[in-house]
């Protein structure tokens, strides 16, 4: 990723879709190749259904402003879940307030699994969007996407999947999944910061209306009116993050080369090992016990704030996230303010889990 990006920055740097000179044409080609490669990565036949954005948050806000806002009417509703990252929660809450519509929130059970019966009961003919994450970034829960997508499709409701935590690890297959909007961020895919994607089903491409105006998205501009290009070229007014997109394509290639199934089984093994070993830490409470989970484990220690846990472990070179993980509604629903969170990646090893456990025990001794 770094090599691909620095090669571009140092030797091939030019803007895309503008110049008539070789450097610009080559940059355009690389950028568009990245789109094709992203489509292949997502099991998607039509690369023109993929827009490059600044990341998951930006993509979700695009769906909110471009697709959803223009079709909302009083009496409508948006359905989401209590388990969402703020990025997949606040945009809907804002729309609900502005357009006087209802935001319906599906609950989870005490184990951290989504309540699918409740979710189903919330969707009706006034639902304009179902917005759900594939994987909870706080509890690690893997939601049953096929089942959830079917719930929406049975009622012809558009569905958005926030794949920020899952696109790196699972074969998503957007064409077979049959979702309408899917998004992920580069920096969670071993790629650059500030770049991500939004994939839109062919059915709704024509509904993606520009809302951010400027150069690069237009067909024709007159004093009185402007006409716009089609998706995906009508949403990214201004200069895109060309080198970021090229870096992202290199990162996707790296993931494909490693192989998602190898990654998944490595993460599964680490997670099972950690869940087996962590209970030996006195006073530990593992938060949630979902039926299917990814390599994310939230926990608390009795009488020690998660920020203190993270600071203490930092001295041993352990990078642990602590806080509310941009999921305040989820934590509040569990009566919590914060957790410490372990999040594994392909480079982690069992020895590191042993080291983590030793550090936690040392912290408890120090604290008592
Ligand atoms: C599930 C989920 N959704 C959305 C986001 C937001 O991603 P970004 O900050 O890259 O826009 C995150 C980031 O942690 C996430 O975990």
Kind of pairing between the strands at 181-185 and 77-81: unpaired
How many angstroms does the Cα of residue 5 sit away from the middle of ligand 1? 23
Q: Mean pLDDT throughout 102-123?
A: 98
How many whole angstroms from 56 Cα to the centroid of ligand 1? 6
- 317 shares its domain with 305: yes
**pLDDT score recorded for residue 368:** 81
Q: Which of 53, 59, 87 to mutate to test the pocket of ligand 1 (most atoms within 8 A of CB)?
A: 87
Are residues 110 and 224 located together in one domain of the fold? Answer: yes
Using an 8 Å Cβ cutoff, are 84 and 162 in contact?
A: yes
Same domain, 155 and 289: no
Predicted confidence at residue 1, as pLDDT, reads 78
The verdict on 58 and 122 lying in the same domain is yes
Look up the CATH number of the domain holding residue 274.
3.90.1150.10
Question: 283 with 162, same domain?
Answer: no
What is the distance in A from the centroid of ligand 1 to the CA of 326?
8
The CATH number covering residue 26 comes to 3.40.640.10
Q: Are residues 247 and 296 in the same domain?
A: no
User: Three-class SS of residue 361?
Assistant: helix
Q: Determine the structural domain holding residue 233 and report its residue range.
A: 2-258
At 115 the three-state DSSP class reads: coil
Share of the chain above pLDDT 90, in %: 90
- Looking at the structure, tell me whether residues 324 and 223 fall in a common domain: no
**247 and 264: one domain?**
no
Q: Worst-scoring range by mean pLDDT, 113-122, 166-175, 322-331?
A: 166-175
Q: Which of 208, 224, 258 is the last residue of a domain?
A: 258
Peptide bond into 232 cis (omega under 30): yes
What total number of domains does the chain contain? 2
Q: Categorize the per-residue pLDDT at 20 as very low, low, confident or very high, splitting at 50, 70 and 90.
A: confident
- pTM score above 0.85: yes
* Residues assigned a catalytic role: 326
Residues 176 and 239 in one domain: yes
Query: 273 and 145, same structural domain?
Result: no
Mark which of 258, 285, 313 sits at the end of a domain: 258
* Confidence category of residue 249, pLDDT binned at 50, 70, 90: very high
Dist. CA 45–CA 175, nearest whole Å: 7
Instruction: State the pLDDT confidence band at 176, using cuts at 50, 70 and 90.
Output: confident
Domain boundary among 235, 258, 281: 258
Find all residues with CB under 8 Å of 10, minimum gap 6, and list them: none
**Are 185 and 54 found together in one domain?**
yes
Q: Are residues 186 and 301 in the same domain?
A: no
**pLDDT per position as a tens digit, 137-158:** 999 999 999 999 999 999 999 9
> Phi/psi of residue 142, each to 5°?
-95, 115
């Amino acid at each position: 990723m770094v090599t691909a990006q620095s090669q571009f920055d140092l030797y091939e740097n030019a803007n895309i879709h503008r110049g008539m000179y070789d450097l610009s044409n080559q940059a355009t080609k690389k950028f568009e190749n990245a789109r094709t490669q992203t489509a292949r990565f997502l099991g998607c036949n039509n690369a023109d259904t993929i827009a490059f954005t600044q990341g998951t948050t930006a993509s979700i806000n695009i769906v909110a402003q471009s697709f959803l806002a223009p079709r909302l009417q009083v009496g409508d509703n948006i359905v989401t879940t209590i388990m969402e990252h703020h990025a997949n929660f606040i945009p809907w809450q804002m729309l609900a307030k502005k357009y006087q519509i209802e935001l319906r929130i599906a609950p989870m059970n005490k184990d951290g699994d989504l309540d699918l019966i409740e979710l189903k009961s919330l969707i009706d003919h006034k639902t304009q969007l179902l917005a759900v994450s594939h994987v909870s970034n706080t509890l690690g829960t893997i939601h049953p996407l096929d089942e959830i997508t079917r719930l929406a499709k049975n009622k012809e409701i558009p569905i958005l999947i926030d794949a920020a935590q899952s696109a790196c690890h699972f074969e998503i297959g957007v064409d077979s999944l049959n979702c309408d909007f899917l998004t992920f961020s580069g920096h969670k895919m071993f790629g650059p910061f500030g770049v991500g994607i939004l994939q839109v089903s062919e059915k709704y491409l024509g509904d993606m209306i520009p809302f951010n105006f400027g150069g690069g998205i237009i067909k024709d501009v007159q004093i009185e009116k402007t006409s716009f290009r089609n998706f995906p070229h009508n949403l990214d007014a201004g200069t895109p993050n060309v080198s970021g997109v090229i870096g992202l394509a290199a990162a996707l290639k790296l993931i494909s080369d490693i192989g998602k199934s190898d990654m998944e089984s490595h993460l599964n093994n680490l997670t099972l090992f950690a869940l087996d070993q962590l209970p030996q830490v006195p006073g530990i409470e593992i938060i949630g016990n979902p039926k299917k989970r990814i390599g994310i484990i939230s926990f608390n220690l009795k009488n020690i704030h998660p920020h203190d846990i993270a600071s203490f472990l930092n001295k041993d070179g352990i990078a642990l996230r602590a806080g509310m993980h941009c999921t305040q509604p989820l934590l509040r629903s569990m009566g919590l303010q914060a957790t410490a969170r372990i999040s594994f990646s392909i480079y982690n090893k069992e020895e590191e889990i042993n080291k983590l456990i030793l550090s936690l025990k040392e912290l408890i001794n120090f604290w008592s």
